[in-house]
A and B are shown apart, each in its own frame.
Chain A
């Protein structure tokens, strides 16, 4: 497959995404691996009543493209358009050097539901790999597309797909002026279906998800100082968690969802605390006159990594909660902050200043080697997809705050600017088992 076709495919997806409604665009900068998996996503056969409203294969193809590991075949190059196994002739696909084939159908069912059916084939070995049927409310058709992407991705790569996830972020309009508004927004992983969770004339920051995806915690200046609020995603409740004098910041849910790590400076300087969400009892974790902030949890919930300048400059440390043993983790560079552990617990992503420029870097905790992942500047707030393959962060482009995504291997890069204002503080949702719609 020539590079020209690849570029054409990407351009197609860029245009497609800009036309679709949603305040986050998705612009691909770097396409990923040099040897991507070739897949043909045949346009699904869709009932004429539905074909205006839904387009499953485009959503699926774009999901796979964004992972950087797939190269979908452009439909104008397809020799046939099967929608069921009987019409699949593997020769048609081997000729096009395609490794995998995805076909499907969608039809309107009773009660404004849509029935979706798909089949995934291994072209080389001429066998069916996966098939599934869904019945969902028509309004949720995008969820089905992303679910199919997840299944295809997992079948082929062995890694659980993260296309059915959400991105939460802050949209700041007229920031720093008297008519500034800040809103906490949620969008699909492809930037679509944006919706506002809350809106405020005062700054919002440090939003984070509960592990079940049903709640978020964030910092708001609505009381005149930074305070922490927990809110249900469906808006059913909202509770102020702490509003002590000084800083109330950096709320992060524990992996079991029962506690919140946070930062309070009420005792004189910023320290890490853990609050039991049921009893509301606070436990202090750090005791040092330096700045201790930006906690996050290890996947097993037994330690917390955090930023501290107790050594003179901000660096990343880890504290083991049962023993209070503290060790420093970063030694390269004079500013390392806001770290997050990968799901394997062995790798760190964080903000790293190199030659005065702020990038996102990755570090192997066993081998201690560090790798800068981004070429952008003024990078902050890295957040990992729940399968650990991609990370989203905030950066600037042409004087505007934008979000950007980079794969952990650094090869895939795309940008998500908003036409409505500056976007920042992204938080990638967990796997959404908690909000299944089927």
Chain B
């Protein structure tokens, strides 16, 4: 492996790199520095500002991460509980980032329960689940203006079955972007 570059090439690389640094940092930067010397490699085109991250898939309702993959909008809960898991929080961190970056967008957080237990108590439990999501997003710097919660209790199951599988799929919070 070559450790030593030809001194002239070294200078070229240094200027090349400094060009990028100079351009990439500041929004109030001056004109990009033009290369002063003839070079053997083709001149890199003038770089525009760093591209804004794309937060939503086409349609604007499904959030995506920096690699374009969809971020989960549904979070599941254990029976009688309104506690988010560590991986839930990691996903919610991504949602928080998007909401902080897109202050005109808002989120409706739905809370749901499985069919067991009484309906009104389940409205309250559903609300606790939605609130758990809301609290985390607030603590991650999202404005309360952008957050709305609604509990459906056991009224809108995603799975109409009457077994453990259906019940676990129904204990959820769902995020919908506006």
Chain A interface residues (CB < 8 Å from chain B): 175-176, 203, 205-206, 221, 224-226, 246-247, 249-250, 263, 265, 269-270, 291, 293-294, 307, 309, 314, 335, 337-338, 351, 353, 358, 378, 380-381, 396, 399, 425
Whether the pair A291, B116 counts as a contact (CB closer than 8 A) is: no
Which of B31-39, B42-50, B99-107, B120-128 contacts its partner?
A: B120-128
- Chain A residues whose C-beta falls within 8 Å of the C-beta of B158 in the assembled complex: 176
- Per the bound structure, the CA–CA distance linking A270 and B111 in Å amounts to 14
- Per the bound structure, the CA–CA distance linking A335 and B121 in Å amounts to 11
In this complex, how many residues of chain B approach chain A with their Cβ under 8 Å: the count is 23
**CB of A95, distance to nearest CB on chain B (Å):** 52
8 A–B contacts from the bound complex (CB under 8 Å): A175-B155, A203-B156, A205-B155, A221-B152, A224-B150, A249-B120, A338-B120, A378-B115
- Chain B residues whose C-beta falls within 8 Å of the C-beta of A380 in the assembled complex: 117-119
Known: A291-B121, A291-B128. 12 other contacts (CB 8 A): A175-B160, A203-B155, A203-B156, A224-B150, A226-B123, A246-B127, A265-B124, A293-B121, A307-B118, A337-B117, A338-B118, A399-B162
Chain B, 147-164, CB within 8 A of any chain A CB? 149-153, 155-158, 160, 162
Chain B binding surface, main DSSP class: mixed
Nearest 3 Cβ contacts at the A-B interface: A203-B155, A291-B124, A338-B118
With CB as the reference atom, state the residue of chain B lying closest to A398: B162
Whether the pair B127, A358 counts as a contact (CB closer than 8 A) is: no
- Chain A residues whose C-beta falls within 8 Å of the C-beta of B116 in the assembled complex: 358, 378
**Given A337-B118, A378-B115, A247 contacting B123 (CB threshold 8 A):** yes
Whether the pair B160, A335 counts as a contact (CB closer than 8 A) is: no
**CB of A416, distance to nearest CB on chain B (Å):** 19
**CB of B64, distance to nearest CB on chain A (Å):** 26
- Chain B residues whose C-beta falls within 8 Å of the C-beta of A425 in the assembled complex: 119
Whether the pair A294, B120 counts as a contact (CB closer than 8 A) is: yes
- Per the bound structure, the CA–CA distance linking A371 and B175 in Å amounts to 43
Point out the residue from A224, A225, A247 that lies within 8 Å of B124, measured CB to CB.
A247
**Given A224-B150, A358-B117, A378-B162, A249 contacting B155 (CB threshold 8 A):** no
**CB of B131, distance to nearest CB on chain A (Å):** 9
With CB as the reference atom, state the residue of chain B lying closest to A248: B123
Whether the pair B117, A293 counts as a contact (CB closer than 8 A) is: no
**Given A307-B118, A425-B119, A396 contacting B162 (CB threshold 8 A):** yes
With CB as the reference atom, state the residue of chain B lying closest to A338: B118
- Chain A residues whose C-beta falls within 8 Å of the C-beta of B155 in the assembled complex: 175, 203, 205, 221
With CB as the reference atom, state the residue of chain A lying closest to B170: A176
Whether the pair A176, B157 counts as a contact (CB closer than 8 A) is: yes
With CB as the reference atom, state the residue of chain A lying closest to B156: A176
Point out the residue from A175, A176, A225, A337 that lies within 8 Å of B121, measured CB to CB.
A337
- Chain B residues whose C-beta falls within 8 Å of the C-beta of A250 in the assembled complex: 120
**Given A205-B155, A378-B162, A263 contacting B120 (CB threshold 8 A):** yes
- Chain B residues whose C-beta falls within 8 Å of the C-beta of A205 in the assembled complex: 119-120, 153, 155
Whether the pair B119, A247 counts as a contact (CB closer than 8 A) is: no
- Chain A residues whose C-beta falls within 8 Å of the C-beta of B128 in the assembled complex: 291
- Per the bound structure, the CA–CA distance linking A307 and B119 in Å amounts to 12
- Chain B residues whose C-beta falls within 8 Å of the C-beta of A224 in the assembled complex: 150
Whether the pair A226, B117 counts as a contact (CB closer than 8 A) is: no
- Chain A residues whose C-beta falls within 8 Å of the C-beta of B153 in the assembled complex: 205, 226
- Per the bound structure, the CA–CA distance linking A206 and B119 in Å amounts to 8
Point out the residue from B123, B150, B156, B162 that lies within 8 Å of A249, measured CB to CB.
B123
Point out the residue from B115, B121, B150 that lies within 8 Å of A307, measured CB to CB.
B121
